[in-house]
């Protein structure tokens, strides 16, 4: 579970950095040198999509695994 949480936290952080670059580039009118038809606004949207994926992935990751008789259960079934 810990590795999955680290992965989704890294995806969220990477999305935050991409969105920040997109917003700053859009606000300061930096020229896009690599692809002329791709604007910084699209980069900000892509960063926010990665943030959503990272946040929902982290929310859907169970808190712990319960191991009983060599079987892994993500959730407690004793409720």
pLDDT of 35 strictly over 70: no
Decide: 13 and 57 in contact? Cβ < 8 Å.
Answer: no
Q: Tokens 């002329």 — which residue?
A: 36
pLDDT of 78 strictly over 60: no
Q: Is the entire prediction scored with pTM above 0.85?
A: no
Give the list of residues 6+ apart from residue 50 with CB closer than 8 angstroms, or none. Answer: 11, 12, 14, 15, 18, 19
């Amino acid at each position: 579970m810990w590795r999955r949480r680290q992965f989704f936290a890294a995806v969220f952080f990477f999305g935050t950095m991409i969105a920040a670059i997109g917003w700053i580039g859009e606000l300061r009118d930096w020229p896009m040198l690599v692809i002329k038809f791709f604007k910084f606004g699209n980069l900000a949207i892509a960063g926010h999509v990665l943030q959503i994926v990272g946040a929902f992935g982290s929310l859907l990751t169970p808190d712990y695994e319960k191991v009983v008789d060599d079987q892994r259960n993500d959730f407690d079934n004793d409720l």
